[in-house]
Amino acid sequence: MSSDLVTFVAGLPKAELHLHIEGSLEPEQMFEFARRNRVAIPFDSVEQVRAAYDFSNLQDFLDIYYAGADVLRTEQDFHELALAYFRRAAADGVRHAEIFFDPQTHTDRGLPFAVAADGLLSGMVAAEAELGVSSKLILCFLRHLDEEAAFATLKAVEPWLDRIAGVGLDSSEVGHPPSKFQRVFARAGEMGLKRVAHAGEEGPPAYVHEALDLLRIDRMDHGNRSMEDEGLIRRLADERMTLTVCPLSNLKLCVVDDLADHPVPEMLRRGLHVTLNSDDPAYFGGYVADNYVRLAEATGLSREALVQMARNSFEGAFVDDAAKTRHLAEIDAYLAEVG
């Protein structure tokens, strides 16, 4: 690993737009929260937890992901989880992050919506004060549950509507097309919320079409399999649809067999508005800078390509034009400084 590349990427101002906060739960935190909350976990050591992270598909990952989330019981847990993520992100050059959380994962095990929402929001406030990293919160509906459950979650969010930026769609993709959630996404749009959705990770290009046409998304999460559909590639490029791509996640879940074969270079060549993100970094082996560095090393991406994706991350963020201009100027100042 080139130390010059690592240093350059760490200093490059960037936004992270695809991060599941529950997926930043490190094994050490799992043990601490389990001890503090007297929650039994099926592991005797941090090493056993890390060994359990050796999965090879989305469902196996989700099984341990939901088990890990069970140790999160108090506002303080969610506050500490968020702040720990932001400290790592700041060290990676992140200036702004838009983080997902899965309220149904927590309400279905008896936690009030407020526990997760208020804990995360207070962590976000603390992160901006301590680190200067701004952030927004996006709630995701679990697609393996039904649309009525999603509507109930959307109803629960109403008291927090001024502090929630948008809705997303995650969990098991295959067999749960975006069309299943068309009505609840329409309602979210009426409420003034931004709309994003996971599509084309394991699901087919048809799911990407549905996310665009039926959910009317503002941003596409993953989107890898769009590259199988020539018309879809042209459409995404023409519409400047931001794609939040997660290389190390794709490798860990066997969406790609080798980072050298990752579609990002071809996506960029075809004019797609690609960003790089870490997805569930505690489980997938790296935070956002690791995704930049390891993809560049595997595919030979140029420094210019890395800078373009950092620019894309701010352009695709749900912030106002003044903030975008400020962040893009920060990239320019950084490049002038490093030469």
Reduce the DSSP state of residue 219 to 3 states and report it.
strand
- Could you tell me where the beta strands, DSSP code E, fall in 47-165? 94-101, 134-142
Residue 280 C-beta-side C-alpha neighbours within 13 Å? 24
CA 202 distance to own-chain centroid: 16
Closest CA to 198 of 165, 228, 174: 174
Q: What whole-number distance in Å separates Cα of residue 176 and Cα of residue 279?
A: 20
Closest CA to 21 of 181, 113, 135: 135
Q: What whole-number distance in Å separates Cα of residue 307 and Cα of residue 154?
A: 37
**Scanning the structure block, which residue is given the tokens 């927090």?**
160
Q: What whole-number distance in Å separates Cα of residue 75 and Cα of residue 251?
A: 33
DSSP conformational letter for 261: G
Point out the catalytic residue in the list 201, 228, 239, 330.
201
| C-alpha distance across the termini of the chain, in Å | 21
Closest CA to 96 of 200, 5, 19: 19
Does residue 147 have an active-site annotation? no
CB 222 within 8 Å of CB 201: yes
Catalytic residues: 201
